[in-house]
């Protein structure tokens, strides 16, 4: 948080410099930087609040039928520009299926896995998203062609504030909280999350939550 505030302060002070204030291109770049850092700070604050609520047992979920395919499709559309900017191929195969879950928290879990896959996949790589029914569960799968995880990484992957061997490939930030939060949220929704990966061979994350029957009067898209 201290580093993020310092970055905003430096950018704002530079904006006030006489040599910059009348140069539109530099002003726009600095404004974009301030916005980016502010968004990172907002994400960090939200993550810290989630962790605090989870540890205090005060974060609850509201289970209801959720159109998992709609959530996944929205996220694929949201992250397509980011993937394209890194020359990453983003492929999706989404079956229509309904999950018994909290729509806000399920989207948070899906978002974390997809954003991480793009974050750690190098330019020219590929990210695949699969969604489908598996017995009485809805399964969401995200695979990438990133660096993968070592055995040591796997042991601490879902614990907070861990530094892993892999690093973001486009200068993106990482709080070290996302996967720890995702795991707890999935468990609160009576589901499970796990990883298959080897160093140098990418990673495959799986999430399963209970399925639900579509209802005309009680559904969330």
Per-position DSSP letters for 107-169, written without gaps between them: HHHHHHHHHHHHHHSPTT-EEEEEEEEETTEEEEEEEE-S----HHHHHHTTSTTPPPS---S
pLDDT band at 126 (very low <50, low <70, confident <90, very high): very high
Which of the two residues, 79 and 174, has the higher pLDDT score? 79
Instruction: Please state the rounded mean pLDDT for residues 189-197.
Output: 95
The 10 Å Cβ neighbour count of residue 50 is: 19
Q: For position 219, what pLDDT does the model report?
A: 46
Distance CA 107, CA 26 (A): 36
Instruction: Please state the rounded mean pLDDT for residues 71-93.
Output: 94
Strand pairing partners for 144?
Answer: 127, 203
CA terminus-to-terminus distance, the chain: 34
Contact 192, 186 (CB under 8 A): yes
Instruction: Please state the rounded mean pLDDT for residues 50-72.
Output: 83
pLDDT of 167 above 70: no
Contact 119, 146 (CB under 8 A): no
Q: For position 83, what pLDDT does the model report?
A: 93
Q: For position 100, what pLDDT does the model report?
A: 97
Query: How would you class 94 by CB atoms within 10 Å of its CB: exposed for 0-12, middle for 13-18, buried for 19 or more?
Result: middle
Q: CA 55, 109, 151, 169 torsion: positive or negative? A: negative
Q: For position 159, what pLDDT does the model report?
A: 78
The mean of the pLDDT values for the chain is 82
pLDDT of 37 above 90: no
Who contacts 34 (Cβ-Cβ below 8 Å, separation ≥6)?
Answer: 8, 11, 12
Who contacts 119 (Cβ-Cβ below 8 Å, separation ≥6)?
Answer: 168, 169, 170, 172, 174
pLDDT of 184 above 50: yes
Block residue for tokens 């395919």: 69
Q: For position 96, what pLDDT does the model report?
A: 95
Instruction: Please state the rounded mean pLDDT for residues 40-64.
Output: 72
pLDDT band at 133 (very low <50, low <70, confident <90, very high): very high
Q: Assign 15 to helix, strand or coil.
A: helix
Q: CA 172, 176, 181, 184 torsion: positive or negative? A: positive
pTM, entire model: 0.73
pLDDT band at 130 (very low <50, low <70, confident <90, very high): very high
Q: For position 218, what pLDDT does the model report?
A: 45
Instruction: Please state the rounded mean pLDDT for residues 68-82.
Output: 94
Which of the two residues, 32 and 101, has the higher pLDDT score? 101
Question: Which tokens hold the place of 96?
Answer: 């229509």
Looking at 147-151, 189-193, 202-206, which range is the least confident one?
Answer: 147-151
Which of the two residues, 171 and 182, has the higher pLDDT score? 182
């Amino acid at each position: 948080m201290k580093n993020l505030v310092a970055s905003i302060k430096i950018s704002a002070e530079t904006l006030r410099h006489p040599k910059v204030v009348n140069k539109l291109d530099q002003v726009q770049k600095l404004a974009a930087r301030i916005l980016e850092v502010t968004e990172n700070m907002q994400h960090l604050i939200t993550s810290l609040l989630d962790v605090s609520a989870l540890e205090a047992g005060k974060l609850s979920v509201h289970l209801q039928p959720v159109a998992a395919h709609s959530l996944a499709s929205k996220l694929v559309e949201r992250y397509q520009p980011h993937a394209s900017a890194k020359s990453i191929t983003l492929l999706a195969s989404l079956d229509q299926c309904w999950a018994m879950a909290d729509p806000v928290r399920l989207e948070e879990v899906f978002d974390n896995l997809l954003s991480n896959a793009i974050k750690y996949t190098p330019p020219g790589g590929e990210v695949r998203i699969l969604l489908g029914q598996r017995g009485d569960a809805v399964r969401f799968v995200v695979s990438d062609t990133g660096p993968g995880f070592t055995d040591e990484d796997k042991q601490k992957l879902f614990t907070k504030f861990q530094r892993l061997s892999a690093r973001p490939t486009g200068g993106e930030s990482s709080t070290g909280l996302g996967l720890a939060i995702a795991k707890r949220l999935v468990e609160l929704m009576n589901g499970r999350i796990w990883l298959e990966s080897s160093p140098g061979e990418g990673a495959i994350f799986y999430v399963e939550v209970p399925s639900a029957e579509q209802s005309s009067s009680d559904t969330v898209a």
